[in-house]
């Protein structure tokens, strides 16, 4: 299945800046069979009875998180950029290679003891997902793990998530 799904990931050289090989998932999103296979792979990594909710960060985490939540008839919790959610939120800042960013979650989105699966399109350095994990914790939830379509293994983002199960469908070992 890995080769099949990799055939839907387009490599775009020098985007968003020179020297970067961007992994474009647009062709994968256009194919319903490929999207179904992504959901099935996530389901193999994390059996549906092992978690209560799916959580995904803005924006591509929404795509795969909602697809999985719908496939399994579970709720979805969005984690957004600052200022996008109405009502009381928790905010978590995290480092980028060129500065700082932050994410927010509704304070009442996850109940104490809810088991959640965090889903995103890509694991790079782990900064975004570390912030997501902290937001889940602050809401009282328990992250059962993190699931990614793509992992840029050469960036070693997994090392920044040492206490959590991390699964990815497609791993790229070299830049």
pLDDT of residue 95: 85
pLDDT of residue 99: 79
Q: What is the CATH number of the domain that holds 143?
A: 3.40.50.2020
6 belongs to a structural domain: no
Task: Give me the residues of the chain with pLDDT under 70, please.
Answer: 97
pLDDT of residue 97: 67
16 belongs to a structural domain: no
Which residues are designated catalytic?
60, 97
63 belongs to a structural domain: yes
- Are 9 and 38 contacting, i.e. CB atoms less than 8 angstroms apart? no
Which residues constitute the domain of residue 113? 47-172
- Are 76 and 64 contacting, i.e. CB atoms less than 8 angstroms apart? no
76 belongs to a structural domain: yes
11 belongs to a structural domain: no
38 belongs to a structural domain: no
Indicate the number of domains in the chain: 1
94 belongs to a structural domain: yes
The packing angle between helices 32-45 and 60-72, to 10°, is 70
């Amino acid at each position: 299945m890995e080769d099949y799904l990799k055939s839907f990931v387009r490599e775009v050289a020098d985007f968003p800046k020179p020297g970067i090989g961007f992994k474009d998932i647009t062709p994968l999103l256009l194919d319903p069979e490929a999207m179904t296979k992504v959901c099935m792979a996530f389901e193999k990594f994390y059996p549906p009875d092992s978690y209560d909710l799916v959580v995904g960060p803005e924006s591509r985490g929404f795509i795969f998180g909602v697809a999985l939540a719908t496939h399994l008839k579970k709720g979805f919790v969005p984690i957004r950029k600052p200022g996008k959610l109405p009502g009381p939120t928790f905010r978590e800042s995290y480092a980028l290679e060129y500065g700082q960013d932050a994410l927010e979650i509704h304070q009442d989105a996850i109940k104490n003891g809810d088991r959640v699966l965090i889903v995103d399109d890509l694991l790079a350095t782990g900064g975004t997902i570390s912030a997501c994990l902290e937001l889940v914790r602050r809401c009282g939830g328990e992250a059962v793990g993190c699931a990614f379509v793509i992992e840029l293994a050469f960036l070693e983002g997994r090392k920044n998530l040492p206490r959590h199960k991390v699964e990815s469908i497609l791993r790229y070992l070299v830049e």
